[in-house]
Amino acid sequence: MDTTIHNIGIIMNGVTGRMGTNQHFIRSILAIMKQGGVRISETETIMPRPILVGRNEAKLLKLAAMGEGIRYTVDLDDALADPENIIYFDAQTTGRRADAVKKAIAAGKHVYCEKPTAVSTEAAYELYKVAKKAGVKNGVVQDKLWLPGMVKLAQLRDTGFFGEILSVRGEFGYWVFEGDVITPQRPSWNYRKEDDGGMIIDMLCHWRYVIDNLFGKVKSVSCLGATHIKKRWDEQGKPYKCTADDSAYATFECENGVICHFNSSWTVRVRRDDLLTLQVDGTKGSAVAGLRDCVAQHSSATPRPTWNPDIDSPINFFDNWTRVPNYQIFDNAFKIQWELFLRHVVLDDPFPWTLLEGAKGVQLAEKGLESWEKRCWVELPELKA
């Protein structure tokens, strides 16, 4: 039986960073290669052929050795000039992304990139317009949509379990060590505004696509940021001043009336089910989802508490919740979206998570910063397709 293999050259720029290495290269592209590609049918497969791009040749060589025939280069222009490379992927720091993406579009490459897609809404929206004018396919990483917990929330919503959704409360974050005694879990640039760091620009991009896709289109935001930890130590053990916000307390109003409030912090100690939890309350039921798990409580199982602070509560509020079953096998969220984008490029399958959606994420972050500065609610103008 003859087999058709679509070999797709993918330029992976910035792959030596934490996210680029772990989620995009090892757990996505390398995993797809090791499984034999993206299977279209019994006789047709998409096979990624990555070329790793970065500034540290030693790191690139180490990554390339993880698979067979994996190319690498420190010369982006050389990779862009190769007609076999038809996709450009960018996981660099935010400030480097827009110029590199534009260069890739000018070279006729389809574009897939991390978020934030740019440092400003104007620059992010310009990327979308440039890609659309050039006729190249484009996409933005929106990985949290494929986390098992978020998939289960969407399933509950689609079955009508919630009735009318009223509100969503999100808690995200954990304690990132300062670095003087214990090694911090995140890079130092995250805490320097001059290096495009900050919780608001980082996480509000995520909350935009999570809310837009699961609960309703965001129309306005009220956000307060804070730099709780003023001093940290970098990768060389040197102290530095924190100039970016490490926490964000944001409320989002949706067009359909749903109210969402998300606390995001690198200065919080976790006493909840997961590093990210979302509680969704509706007229007919509620659910609490983490990264992988989800529990639900129907209106018929909801207890009737009464306020009495003088006695121990007769109700254990962790009872009367039912774990939502795993109706499917869950793969890595980044890998799932990579496979969808590869199918989009080869087969023209729908892929709605475009650079326009990336621009909307940057817009929410920018409006969140504006809200913090002005200490007021800020509306989000429509970014038109």
Encode pLDDT of 178-199 as tens digits.
Answer: 999 999 999 999 999 999 999 9
Chain position carrying tokens 């003859």: 2
What are the pLDDT digits (tens) for 20-66? Answer: 999 999 999 999 999 999 999 999 999 999 999 999 999 999 999 99
In this structure, what are the phi and psi dihedrals at residue 46, rounded to the nearest 5 degrees?
-100, 125
- pTM for the structure as a whole: 0.94
Q: What is the mean pLDDT of each run of 10 residues along the chain (385 residues)?
A: 90 94 97 97 96 95 95 97 98 93 98 95 98 98 98 98 98 98 95 95 96 98 98 97 98 98 98 97 98 97 94 94 94 98 98 98 98 98 94
The domain defined by 4-143+333-354 folds into: Rossmann fold (3.40.50)
User: What pLDDT was estimated at residue 184?
Assistant: 97
Q: Would you give the DSSP letter of residue 301?
A: G
What pLDDT sits at residue 1? 62
CATH number of 144-328+362-379: 3.30.360.10
All structural domains of the chain with their residue ranges: 4-143+333-354, 144-328+362-379
Which tens digits make up the pLDDT trace of 335-351? 999 999 999 999 999 99
**Cβ neighbours of 118 (radius 10 Å):** 25
Average pLDDT, the chain: 96
Q: Are strands 4-13 and 85-90 parallel, antiparallel or unpaired?
A: parallel
- Residue 110: beta bridge partners? 87
Alpha-carbon distance of 190 to 193, in angstroms, equals 8
Asked if 248 contacts 200 with a C-beta cutoff of 8 angstroms, the reply is: yes
Residue 341: closest CA among 38, 27, 103: 38
Would you tell me how many other CB atoms lie within 10 Å of the CB of residue 280?
A: 26
**Interaxial angle between packed helices 121-134 and 94-106, expressed in degrees from 0 to 180 and rounded to the nearest 10:** 20
CB-CB contact of 201 with 121 (8 Å):
no
* Percent of the chain at pLDDT exceeding 90: 96
Contact 281/144 with Cβ under 8 angstroms?
no
Could you give the percent of the chain with pLDDT greater than 70?
100
- The residues, any chain, with a CB within 8 Å of residue 87's CB and separated by 6 or more, are 8, 9, 10, 11, 109, 110, 111, 112, 341, 345
Please work out, in degrees rounded to the nearest 5, the angle formed at the alpha carbon of residue 10 by the alpha carbons of 6 and 11. Answer: 160
Residue 333's pLDDT is 97
- Contact, 223 vs 376, CB < 8 A? no
For the chain, the straight-line distance linking the first and the last C-alpha, in angstroms and rounded, comes to: 44
DSSP letters for 41-92: ETTEEEEEEEEEE-S-HHHHHHHHTTSTT-EEES-HHHHHH-TTEEEEEE-S
Cα–Cα distance measured from residue 29 to residue 44, given in angstroms and rounded to the nearest whole number: 18
Neighbours of 355 (CB within 10 A): 28
- For residue 36, the Cα-to-chain-centroid distance in whole angstroms is 26
CA–CA distances in Å: residue 269 to residues 21, 121, 168, 236, 288: 27, 32, 21, 25, 19
Closest CA to 186 of 369, 19, 23: 19
Amino acid 334 reads: F
DSSP-derived pairing of the beta strands 44-53 and 285-289? unpaired
- Which residues on neighbouring strands pair with residue 231, listed in sequence order? 241
Sign of CA dihedral 257, 200, 210, 303: negative
Backbone angles phi, psi at 124, to 5 degrees: -70, -40
User: Do 4-143+333-354 and 144-328+362-379 come out as alike in CATH topology?
Assistant: no
Q: What is the Cα–Cα distance from 159 to 287, expressed in whole angstroms?
A: 13
What distance in Å separates the CA atoms of residue 99 and residue 90, rounded to the nearest whole number? 11
Element (H, E) at 12: strand 4-13
pLDDT given at position 123: 97
